[in-house]
Amino acid sequence: MSNNTQHFNSADFQSQVIDSKVPVLVDFWAPWCGPCRVLGPTIDEVADQFDGRVKVGKVNVDENPDLGQTYQVRSIPTVLVFQDGKVVAQLVGAQPASQYASELEKALANTPAT
């Protein structure tokens, strides 16, 4: 796993994701999910590509079922992009890195400079 990929949980989700000043890509996954494991290196690639500009992390839905329920995650992997505390993109199933990068670029384009 990339050093740039974080792990979010119920205790830190508000501070790390909702209150973030930069866009956040969150991969909702579980260790038993084959497609989730296949997606892992792609998420790490995106985290490395956007290092310093966005946050990229994972939520284990088995360990944090409340977050999966709150964001209506019906199947995994589901990747959500948050901006200003709101979901601005949802991608279900494994996608190519370019698709995640495109959604993050859109979010960055709509983020005011600090």
In the three-class reduction of DSSP (H, G, I as helix; E, B as strand; rest coil), residue 81 is classed as strand
Report the largest interatomic distance among the alpha carbons of the chain, rounded to a whole angstrom.
40
Q: Which token pair is 7?
A: 């792990």
Contacts of 49 (CB under 8 A, 6+ apart): 97, 101
The span from the CA of 11 to the CA of 48, in Å, is 25
| Active-site amino acid positions | 33, 36
In terms of DSSP bridges, do strands 86-92 and 78-83 run parallel, antiparallel, or are they unpaired? antiparallel
Phi, psi dihedral angles at 80 (to 5 degrees): -115, 140
